[in-house]
Amino acid sequence: MHLFPKTLIACALSLAALTNALAQDARSPQGRADWPGAGQLFAGVNYQPVDRSLAQVKRDVALMKQSGFKVVRMGDLAWDYFEPEEGKFDFRHFDAVMAEVHAADIKVVLDIPGLPAPMWLHHKYPGVDIVNQTGTRLAPAERYMDNTGDPDYRRLAIRMADTLTKRYAQHPALLAVGYDNEIGNSFMSYSEADRKRFVEWLKKRYGSIDALNKAWATQRWSRRIGKWDEVRLPYADGPGPAERYLDLRRFWSDITIATIGDLEAVRRKNTPDKPALSNYWDWSGRKGFDFLGSYRQHTTFGAMGFYAGDAINGGWETALIKGGMTTPTWFNEFTAGGGGSYGSKGWSRMWAHFVLLMGGQAALAWTYNSHLGGEEQALMGLIDHDDRPSWRLGEWARIAGDYAKLEKLGFPRTVEPKVAIAYSFENVHATSPNGPSSTVRQYIKTPYIKQAHGAFEPLLKDNIDVAVIKLSYEDLSRYRLVILPGMYLLDKASTEAVRQFVANGGTVVMTAQSAKADDNNQWHATPKPGGLTDVFGLRTNEFYEGNGNLKLGDEEIKSTAAHFEVLEPSTAQVLARFSNFDGQPPAITVNRFGKGKAIYVATLAQPQIMKPLLRQLCAERGIEPAGPKTPDGVFARTVDGRVLYVNTTWAPVEVPIAGAMKGVLGGQRWEGTLRLEALGVELLEGQN
């Protein structure tokens, strides 16, 4: 079935209306205790059998079984493997692979390979080609160079999904269904057809040319639009006004969500008893999409590729991809060998336990066999290029053995955060508009993600569970403390959510550069924080460059971000003042509003400022750490009376413990102190 522009846009916009129905569908496995994978941990691997002979497949699967792998992810990036010509499907080789995997008692996450599209599809349907900002049609030179908004692409991707899931719906090895690969990591396109789809999207959003002109501030610089046909696609790479740029990003986000919705509809029709378990990359700089504002429409589990370089970044990404979900998190790709590097021994095992701390259920190594050709020739898998098992296979066998022990001891861990950090796709792009002339770039000198990390880091280091959420998409009553770090754009729905949360007894913390812009990415014409001046009991107008010194309680703190706002309290009380600015202006204020409290921080979110403030607020709100206090770089969680420790550093660390304990993984007895080797992990239980 062809999807024409109006139908496509209607599909994208109607997905939000399906959210409640999807969440309430009794067939959905989301949160179900009787799902076959409930209560288990899964160590496994990604496998691309497209260029493996059946003899190689048999040997590969035998090694997977020997290594203790319980799951394998297959199907992604392989559309023309299943459909080498349009409408001509060939599953003979994959049938044999599935049979081998099932015989080894290994389960399969089957990815529908919607991206990249086959070359035959590009040749026959040129609307699938990417057109760049200058109007040049690009050949599909690498992965993800597909126009996912094209009706022919969507029609054929749906047919691929339908054919594949029907064939394997009843296969005993099938555990879950995934969509595409690295969803969000594709390209925006600028064809005339894309422009027309964008216009239809704008009509749905704004309704009239007058409303569009107001939203885009076209009265400035003689940019007024007289009729819909005059609308052009904004440039992602600049130049162009921020309002239009944000709508461009929103448009492509909706297209992405709609294409995922196509595949989700197929899953619900053909495999309603199998969960949706896809590899998301919603923060990809190429396109990305609003995962935190849409996940209930298209997934059962938060899932992603995990390639963390440090604990803060890794912890943040695991919290972001979980959102407000109660289900455990899957890591469909997981760091094994590096690009151009064999990696470091112990690195994968350490991270495989770190994600368990964060509520993870599965780690699937990328990848099984090192690729001989293509874009990842020098990305090392568990099997070397000459088909010999690497030391990495042994490490992953050890991970599988660890997981087999831990799944009987309270893992996967249930995570029920009482602290949430607000984050949004819209704010990512509102704070990083295109074009060298943007004054917002001059104002936002510290990247939004750095502010988010500044609020997250002290909580992670204190072993406190944190949710990363979109304010307007979640029930905030689940949380006691909500943090808004650098929420430059705070839309009406989120503003109202904050207001109600505080009025009903919640505590909120907002930092500098927040609530400056409205839904249309224009600055509020009212006192700031826009729509919340009464909630915070102040207004903030002036802002300057300067590193402020402040004192909170007995702690002297130095700001290292050269931005501070001049706070003008009305009903707010001052908690801390700057000591090195004229007049010692307020640095942190608190205001009673309804049954709750609203705290404003006049600087950007920085760990050294947020740490003492958040510790104080967590104590007030009865928010307990989920694990004991640990040295820097070591993280811990208590699960069923035992404590899992993970040392993310490259040096041995001695961790104080209470009394005598025994290591479940290492078998050693410890008293008073646990010694963790570099990248070491251990689960301690009481010594009888």
Whether residue 367 is preceded by a cis peptide bond, meaning omega within 30 degrees of 0, is: yes
Check residue 500 and give its pLDDT.
Answer: 98
Residue 180, by phi and psi: left (phi above 0), alpha (psi -120 to 50) or beta? left
Instruction: Report the pLDDT value the prediction gives residue 604, as an integer from 0 to 100.
Output: 96
- Residue pair 304/279 in contact by the 8 Å Cβ criterion: yes
In this structure, are residues 333 and 54 in contact, taking their beta carbons and an 8 Å threshold?
A: no
Q: Which amino acid is at 431?
A: T
Contact (CB, 8 A) for 58 and 96: no
Q: Which two tokens stand for residue 406?
A: 């831990």
Q: So what's the pLDDT on residue 436?
A: 66
- Sort strands 507-511 and 596-601 into parallel, antiparallel or unpaired: parallel
Place of tokens 């112990």: 346
Buried b (16+ CB within 10 A) or exposed e, 265-298: bbbbebbeebbbbbbbbbbeeebbbbbbbbbbbb
pLDDT of residue 33: 53
242-270 and 151-168 helices, crossing angle to 10°:
30
Percent of the chain with pLDDT over 90: 88
> What is the Cα Rg of the chain in Å?
26
The pLDDT tens digits of the residues spanning 627-683 come to 999 999 999 999 999 999 999 999 999 999 999 999 999 999 999 999 999 999 999
- What's the length of the chain? 688
Assess contact for 82 and 90: CB atoms under 8 A: yes
pLDDT reading at 591 higher than 60: yes
Sheet holding 653-663, edge to edge: 634-639, 642-647, 681-686, 653-663, 669-676
Q: Where are the alpha helices (DSSP H) in 139-294?
A: 151-168, 192-206, 209-215, 242-270
Instruction: Set out the domains of the chain in order of their start, with CATH numbers.
Output: 5-16+41-406 (3.20.20.80), 419-621 (3.40.50.880), 634-686 (2.60.40.1180)
248/235 Cα distance (integer angstroms): 8
621 membership: H or E segment, kind and range = helix 607-621
Amino acid 17: pLDDT: 35
Rounded to an integer, what distance in angstroms lies between the CA atom of residue 541 and that of residue 625?
36
Query: pLDDT-based confidence at 688, cuts 50/70/90?
Result: low
Q: Based on the number of CB atoms within 10 Å of its own CB, is 313 exposed (0-12), middle (13-18) or buried (19 or more)?
A: middle
**CB neighbour class for 546 (10 Å; exposed up to 12, middle 13-18, buried from 19):** middle
Q: Which two tokens stand for residue 600?
A: 């404003």
* Model pLDDT, residue 401: 98
The model's pLDDT over 447-467, given as tens digits with 9 standing for 90+, comes to 999 999 999 999 999 999 999
Beta strand spans in 547-668 (E): 549-552, 555-558, 564-569, 573-577, 586-593, 596-601, 634-639, 642-647, 653-663
**Residue type at 54 in one-letter notation:** L
Residue 535: count of CB within 10 angstroms of its CB: 27
Q: Quickly list H helices, 271-338.
A: 311-322
* 351-360 per-position pLDDT tens digit: 999 999 999 9
Least confident of 86-95, 263-272, 429-438: 429-438
Helix (H) or strand (E) holding 674: strand 669-676
CB-facing half-sphere around the CA of 487: CA atoms within 13 A: 30
Would you say residue 30 has pLDDT above 70? no
pLDDT for the residue numbered 12: 37
Question: What confidence tier does 29 reach under pLDDT thresholds 50, 70, 90?
Answer: very low
Q: Which DSSP category does 539 fall into?
A: E
CA atoms of 246 and 515, how far apart (whole Å):
16
Q: Measured between alpha carbons, how far is 271 from 324 in angstroms, rounded to an integer?
A: 25
Placement of tokens 């998301």 in the chain: 280
Local structure of residue 318 (DSSP, 8 states): H
Provide the percentage of residues in the chain whose pLDDT is more than 70.
95
Q: Is the pLDDT of residue 23 over 50?
A: no
* Residue 538: both structure tokens together: 């102040």
Residues 562-584 have pLDDT tens digits of 899 999 999 999 999 999 999 99
